[in-house]
Chains A and B, each alone.
Chain A
Amino acid sequence: MSGNLNYNWRWDKIPNYIFKYHTGREEWFANVLLQGLIITVRVSIYASVLALILGVILGIARCSHNLVVRMLARTYLEILRNIPPLVVIFIFYFFLAEQLIQAMSVEDWSYKVAKMENNYLWEFFCGDMRRFPSLVSGVIVLALFESAFVGEIVRAGIQSIDRGQREAAKSIGMTNFKEMRYIVLPQAMKKIMPPMANQFITLIKDSSIISLISVQELTYKTAELVSSTHMIFEAWLTTAMFYFVICFGLSLFFSKLEPDK
């Protein structure tokens, strides 16, 4: 073992794995790292939307008057909060991918779409349709996991609304649903926005975990690249930079959006 790092740096090769010029077709195309990044962004956006929907339902359920509803929501939350994300993801994945997705024959359907002529729209939103089942399980698994935390943010938001607001809503004859929809949630959402933005950034980082269930996002693609080229440091540092730029950029963007205090 010498004191010197015995490593042959090949930084010059990296740009080619982001963009590459196809000499035959005479055009630039996105190579593995950028492909992975696009899928990471796609998965993160879809999973956030789904997590937001589930989280709002969960948050409302946590504040329910009904004890059974409240306990179910609490159980869901505590299970997800006290099991490592990786374990959660493996359990959900083998249940979802092996059972649910096959049962719904998503696979056949997506192969059919992949063979269609004008599937640009599908490709734009879902990428390679042959990988669609893995995209779906990745999104669902990530959304289920993050929904627990979104649910807690929503609950805190709902409970921060003054009791008098709810009483005033009731006193003009609103049902529980209308009270939530027109009075409580609009006010809670404003308070929820900053922590929700943070949670979105966390979700982007957490999305690297689903590389372990073969969703071909940035981390997965990087691991692939490393095993075929052995450019360990270059590839991982580039990927780290991608994550950093996106997450830090978003956090700057969100803090701009927040009104001054």
Chain B
Amino acid sequence: MITKTPIIIFQNVDKYYGNFQALSDISIEVKPSERMVICGPSGSGKSTLIRCINGLESHNYGKLIVDGVEIFEGSKDIIRLRQEIGMVFQQFNLFPHLTVLENLTIGPIKVRKVSKRQAEIMARKYLGRVHIPEQAEKYPSELSGGQQQRVAIARSLCMESKILLFDEPTSALDPEMINEVLDVMVELADTGITMVCVTHEMGFAKKVADTMVFMDEGKIIEVAPPDKFFSKPESARCREFLEQILEH
């Protein structure tokens, strides 16, 4: 069903922090509207991988093409490209000095040059989409973690980007708030936006993923559709990992 040209292409990408190799020989493609879930033990390079996509980290070797534009360190295109790539962080990273509404509109107004009125209409629409329309005038510190993360999701939606990146969006949340965020993400998955998620939430992954990726020690170990990935993973390491996290 997915036959279009890939929107994200990694070709033999390597990334070093000093002598430590964080990514090694990564080659993978994400097609438009594809929903990819990346999992793996901590330190396996999955966050680094996803942060390369919008240039928050730069790779050292290999080729990375996003939305038809090659990304490299110091590339001028990356700033324009980031408007097309939303990102949701583990620590939410909402702007504490701005209200929820201002958090959502500052990107459209200052970056996309949308009028304030237009931006606010859009912001309220997306706040409705993440089920907290009544919190627009509050400051982030007045919200619960789950609500903050949903505001962060709405903030990336307001940029009307083509790609959404999620970097462990539920890892910093109290358990009772995880589902409210996952529910929003499941709803988003149905809208046809391209999603790349780093997460340990395997229930979510089974529900929405088109492709599962398992990483370890900076390498991609396994790429498979979820039914195959969860029922009979090929590599022993992936099997071990899944047993560990699905045990409880």
Residues in chain A within 8 A of chain B (CB atoms): 162, 164-165, 167-175, 178, 182-183, 186-187, 190
Contact = CB atoms under 8 A, between A and B. Distances in A.
B79 interface: yes
B201 to A, nearest CB: 21
Contacts of B93: 162, 164-165, 167-168
B159 interface: yes
Interface in B35-91: 54-56, 79-80, 82-83, 85-87, 89, 91
Question: Closest 6 A-B residue pairs measured CB to CB?
Answer: A172-B107, A168-B93, A173-B83, A164-B93, A171-B87, A173-B111
Contacts of A168: 87, 89, 93-95, 152
Interface residues of B, number: 26
Interface in B130-179: 152, 155-156, 159
Given A164-B93, A168-B95, A187-B97, A182 B110 contact: yes
Nearest to B74: A65
A171 B86 contact: yes
A171 B155 CA distance: 10
Q: Is the interface of A mostly helix, strand, loop or mixed?
A: helix
A235 to B, nearest CB: 49
Contact of B159 (A169, A170, A173): A173
Output the residue of B80, B93, B94, B159 with the most chain A CB within 10 A.
Answer: B93
Interface of B: 54-56, 79-80, 82-83, 85-87, 89, 91, 93-97, 106-107, 110-112, 152, 155-156, 159
Contacts of A169: 95
11 contacts: A164-B89, A167-B87, A167-B89, A171-B56, A171-B82, A171-B89, A172-B111, A172-B155, A173-B83, A173-B107, A190-B97
Contacts of A174: 79, 107, 110-111
Nearest to A181: B110
Given A178-B111, A182-B106, A182-B110, A172 B83 contact: yes
A65 to B, nearest CB: 10
